[in-house]
């Protein structure tokens, strides 16, 4: 490429970093890094009524957590600062004045009530997508001056060119075209002096020398509006690529109101998902590598990223695939790192104290080690390990079926005797005790192990039985056997 690749992710702080935003940021990031370009994070904060406290920090903090580092932004600066739109109002105002002077834009004095009435009238007439009716498009200079002198509020509208076809080669979709007659004169600057998205984004992209824009397909219809601003100033358009929708498992568009899927990156972080796994998962959400492999490092993704492999079909958010992928990453962690991931969740649940003694930490480490291979995310340890914290065991149907077998009383009586005789409870000692029960009763295999597992843990499946019994402890294990015997 002859021109430096410069891409941007431009979130609005009206909310926290969402699945869709994370994917958009990631694909822009991969494209920039693959081409040795720059990745810019710009904050589009002009929707001041809807901006939320912490929204800006959530975007930046969670991008960094995911491993998506950026080259320019509000926190690290850069040669094209400021990177927050509300600090760039003078730029938008100056260029709006230029458009007015050229006759490419005009002042509109229509009230919100009149605009709403016009929209309703068009809908009643069968117009599916109402546009501005052009009331103020042909006001004379004298009429405009009179309205301003009377103190009437106004917006600035783009005078949409007539009979123009806006067409471009989308990096994902191929050839796309729009007719100017379908757009309608749209607002550049609101009555409060704040620019609209489609106007401000063009000036920012131009002055920050953005070369390529990858964004969601919901922005596709914004493209002709943005192209006409570029054309009005004689500026070069960036290359656009519109990524397909993310859908849920019912093949419905992913909505922020969809409670079947966790929506925000910070929620995954709080649940104990790993950033490397989330990066990997998001990278495959609408993009595919060659071959069947699905686990890659960030460096591998950067090296092999090719925008031609971005999907033209909707991308399904597969929750099971995400938990599987996170499990693959957890398996590769050291035990120390798994403990650091899972232990806070046991403490948050009130199962372990905030301050642990050396003995308590060692016990917790042994407990977490039992589930290292099984755990899909940090918070899952609470449910997985519940048998070690429950004073009262409820047997399910499968457990009751085991306990109904005729050999169980004999096996459990012999096991209790062996347990009580143990001076030290270790996995090897427990194995020896079970072996002694086998020798004494003649029962072996499932007929031996299953009753002991069900009575001591309450479950028909679980971690290595001798290790589990050691963690439950001698006193508590004997109490469970005695409770069964009653």
* Active-site annotation, residues: 256
Question: Cα–Cα distance between 454 and 86 in angstroms, integer?
Answer: 64
Check: CB of residue 105 under 8 Å from CB of residue 158.
Answer: yes
**C-alpha span between 278 and 65 (Å, rounded):** 10
Given the DSSP bridges, would you call strands 246-247 and 187-189 parallel, antiparallel or unpaired?
A: unpaired
CA Rg, the chain, in Å?
Answer: 32
Please give the structure tokens belonging to residue 138: 């042909």
Here the tokens at position 383 are 């449910």
- 188 contacts 200 by C-beta, under 8 angstroms: no
Distance between CA atoms of residues 328 and 373, nearest Å: 9
Q: Round to whole Å and give the CA distance between 27 and 310.
A: 9
* Residues forming a β-bridge with 216: 243
- What are the backbone angles phi and psi of residue 178, rounded to the nearest 5°? -135, 150
Strand partners, 174: 170
Distance in angstroms (rounded) separating the CA atoms of residues 274 and 179: 46
Cα–Cα distances in Å, from 446 out to 70, 403, 430, 464? 57, 12, 17, 14
Contact (Cβ atoms closer than 8 angstroms) between residue 263 and residue 329? no
Q: Which two tokens stand for residue 461?
A: 């499946």
Rounded distance between C-alpha atoms, residue 180 and residue 134, angstroms: 14
Pairing of β 165-170 and β 174-179: antiparallel
Q: What is the DSSP letter of 259?
A: T
SS3 label, residue 166: strand
CB 4 within 8 A of CB 38: yes
Q: How many CB atoms lie within 10 A of CB 329?
A: 19
Please give the backbone phi and psi of residue 84, each rounded to the nearest 5 degrees, phi first: -120, 125
Cis-peptide, bond into residue 343, ω within 30° of zero: no
How far apart CA 223 and CA 167 sit, in angstroms, is 9
N- to C-terminal Cα separation, the chain: 80
């Amino acid at each position: 490429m002859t021109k430096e690749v410069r891409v941007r992710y431009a979130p609005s702080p009206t909310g926290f970093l969402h699945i869709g935003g994370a994917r958009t940021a990631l694909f822009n990031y991969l494209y920039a890094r693959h081409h040795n370009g720059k990745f810019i994070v710009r904050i589009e904060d002009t929707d001041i009524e809807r901006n939320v406290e912490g929204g800006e920090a959530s975007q930046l903090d969670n991008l960094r957590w995911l491993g998506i580092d950026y080259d320019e932004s509000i926190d690290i600066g850069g040669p094209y600062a400021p990177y927050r739109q509300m600090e760039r109002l003078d730029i938008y105002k100056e260029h709006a004045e230029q458009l007015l002077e050229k006759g490419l834009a005009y002042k509109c004095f229509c009230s919100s009530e009149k605009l709403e009435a016009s929209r309703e009238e068009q809908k009643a007439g069968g117009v599916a997508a109402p546009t501005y009716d052009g009331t103020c498009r042909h006001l004379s200079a004298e009429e405009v001056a009179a309205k301003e002198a009377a103190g009437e509020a106004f917006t600035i509208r783009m005078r949409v060119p007539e009979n123009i076809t806006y067409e471009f080669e989308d990096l994902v979709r191929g050839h796309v075209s729009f007719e100017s007659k379908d757009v309608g004169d749209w607002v550049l600057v609101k009555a409060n002096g704040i620019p609209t998205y489609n106007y401000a984004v063009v000036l920012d992209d131009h002055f920050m020398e953005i070369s390529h824009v990858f964004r969601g397909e919901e922005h596709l219809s914004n493209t002709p509006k943005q192209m006409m601003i570029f054309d009005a100033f004689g500026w070069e358009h960036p290359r656009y690529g519109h990524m397909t929708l993310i859908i849920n498992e019912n093949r419905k568009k992913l909505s922020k109101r969809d409670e079947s899927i966790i929506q925000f990156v910070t929620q995954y972080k709080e649940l104990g998902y790993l950033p490397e796994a989330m990066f990997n998962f998001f990278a495959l959400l609408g993009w595919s590598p060659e071959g069947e492999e699905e686990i890659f490092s960030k460096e591998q993704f950067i090296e092999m990223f090719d925008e031609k492999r971005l999907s033209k079909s909707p991308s399904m958010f597969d929750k099971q695939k995400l938990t599987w992928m996170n499990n693959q990453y957890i398996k590769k962690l050291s035990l120390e790192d798994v403990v650091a991931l899972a232990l806070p969740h046991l403490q948050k649940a009130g199962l372990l104290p905030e301050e642990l003694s050396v003995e308590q930490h060692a016990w917790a480490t042994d407990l977490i080690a039992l589930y290292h291979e099984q755990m899909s995310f940090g918070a899952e340890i609470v449910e997985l390990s519940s048998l070690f914290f429950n004073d009262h065991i409820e047997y399910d149907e499968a457990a009751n079926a085991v306990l109904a077998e005729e050999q169980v009383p004999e096996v459990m009586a012999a096991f209790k005797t062996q347990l009580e005789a143990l001076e030290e409870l270790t996995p090897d000692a427990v194995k020896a005790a079970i072996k002694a029960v086998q020798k004494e009763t003649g029962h072996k295999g499932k007929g031996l192990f299953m009753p002991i597992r069900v009575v001591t843990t309450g479950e028909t499946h679980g971690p290595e039985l001798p290790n589990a019994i050691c963690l439950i402890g001698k006193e508590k294990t004997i109490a469970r056997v005695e409770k069964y015997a009653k």
